[in-house]
Chains A and B, each alone.
Chain A
């Protein structure tokens, strides 16, 4: 087994294990911190796919942005209200969880089916690319390609997203503003 395979399984186990903890833990704040481990393991998986730019973006956006935002919400809400949330007696195996279990199982079956039917190891276009050596090498610079594509092929989605974000910013600033006395 090569080092890359070992790393892949290590990262996958960490990601799955921490994700399970996030879902099952009663301690909300610990869940959030464990979610950080999940995201970091995912970033590791991206690196193994030679998508290092995506991996770093994952860390910047989710860890530096979203996780900190969630933690802010927690810290501003105080321990008492959190304790109230955590006391709900939700057992894992209960009758009211039956629909959820059913849905999850069915979804899992569908996913496994798709993976088997797609046969990702034998896709014709993959085989062809491999034959023509049209594959990314570990030392390749991918960001130039990303930049050019963002500014040409994907310009419209890019601009649409930036306008959406601008709208969100303006909206947030408006909401946060002190209302003037009427």
Chain B
């Protein structure tokens, strides 16, 4: 590669700062999300949730993390020490690396690559390896059962998730997530049509989001959302850590900071999959408000700061739905899980892909 002016010291410093900033954001989000999860579950089950620590119990998760940091790191005598120690790090780093390719606003993306989506899909699959490592390294039958279930589930649900993503990619015609984001608003350089008929290139807003550019993507979005619940091991797909059967699955033996890392990975995975859904289906960082005559709502609410705000609002909305579902639906049995994946979601995702092809060729 040529030594061009782009690769100066400040270039590297900015990249390192962005990475640290993302990590700080993920950590803060996890603290907030654990608290929200407890309050949401308490509301749904007609309880109070945490109330003692801080106003409305808002400092509860902070107290929890301080407690976790102080705890002893116990390694079981019969465990494979290296695998046991490294597994939580691999699980977290796999998810964390996925954030590198996600755009936050116009011109704001940690690393713009032309295969961003494919990269995220690949890097997430490393999490499975970390889970298997944790299960095997713990040398505990509950852990191993949990790890096996988790891997089987993640691999199966990658198929409908993948095809739902492909049907969105066939509409956007790019794997670069920033390019896919730009297409869904007033900054688009190509023509955007609402339902394939009405030119909304300069109107923007809700009307130019992918799910309204091609309405079958609503189905694809729902398929992806269900599959992403399974990929992040959330209820109703939480058989890998089914607490009534397996204690807590693959992370049964973990204590202290290592346990915190597993938890951090689970919550950052929730944010990652929700953000990916927002970028590909729900207009990424674009505003939901259209331009209406002289009231240029879309023009007023598009920009770098607005972009970050919209991304976070939409993603937190989806995370909220994930929590709502977790505390509403009962856990699926393994055969129901596989039936849903192979007999319902996969054929539907295939149908979406075919419609995408037809839509791109003859309607758009």
Enumerate chain A residues within 8 angstroms of B135, measured Cβ to Cβ. Answer: 75
Enumerate chain B residues within 8 angstroms of A3, measured Cβ to Cβ. Answer: 7
Contact with B126, one of A57, A59, A76 (Cβ below 8 angstroms): A59
Enumerate chain B residues within 8 angstroms of A169, measured Cβ to Cβ. Answer: none
Enumerate chain B residues within 8 angstroms of A57, measured Cβ to Cβ. Answer: 122
B145-185 vs A, Cβ < 8 Å mask (1 yes, 0 no): 00110010001001000000000000000010000000000
Q: How many residues of B contact A (CB 8 A)?
A: 30
List CB contacts (< 8 Å) of B1-39 with chain A.
1, 3, 7
Q: How far is the CA of A162 from the CA of B340 in the complex (A)?
A: 26
Enumerate chain B residues within 8 angstroms of A63, measured Cβ to Cβ. Answer: 122, 125-126, 129
Q: Is the CB of B118 within 8 A of A56?
A: yes
Is B95 interfacial (CB-CB < 8 Å)? no
Enumerate chain B residues within 8 angstroms of A60, measured Cβ to Cβ. Answer: 118, 121-122, 125
Q: Is the CB of B83 within 8 A of A33?
A: yes
With A59-B126, A60-B125 as known contacts, state yes or no: A68 contacts B115, CB within 8 Å.
no
B181 to chain A, nearest CB (A): 17
Q: Is the CB of B83 within 8 A of A30?
A: yes
Q: How far is the CA of A59 from the CA of B115 in the complex (A)?
A: 13
Secondary structure dominating the interface of A: helix
Enumerate chain A residues within 8 angstroms of B119, measured Cβ to Cβ. Answer: 56
List CB contacts (< 8 Å) of A32-72 with chain B.
33, 36, 52-53, 56-57, 59-60, 63-64, 67-68, 71-72
Q: Is the CB of B122 within 8 A of A68?
A: no
Q: How far is the CA of A71 from the CA of B197 in the complex (A)?
A: 50
Q: Is the CB of A138 within 8 A of B129?
A: no
Q: How far is the CA of A106 from the CA of B135 in the complex (A)?
A: 42
Q: Is the CB of B82 within 8 A of A64?
A: no
Enumerate chain A residues within 8 angstroms of B126, measured Cβ to Cβ. Answer: 59, 63-64
With A60-B122, A75-B132, A75-B144 as known contacts, state yes or no: A52 contacts B7, CB within 8 Å.
no
Tell me the nearest residue of chain A to B94, going by C-beta. Answer: A63
Q: 17 A-B contacts, Cβ less than 8 Å apart?
A: A2-B3, A29-B136, A30-B80, A30-B82, A56-B115, A59-B126, A60-B122, A60-B125, A63-B122, A64-B158, A68-B129, A68-B155, A72-B148, A72-B151, A75-B132, A75-B148, A143-B114
Not counting A64-B158, A75-B136, a sample of 14 additional A-B residue pairs whose C-beta atoms are within 8 angstroms of each other reads A2-B1, A27-B80, A30-B82, A30-B83, A60-B121, A60-B122, A68-B125, A68-B129, A72-B148, A74-B136, A75-B147, A79-B139, A142-B114, A143-B175
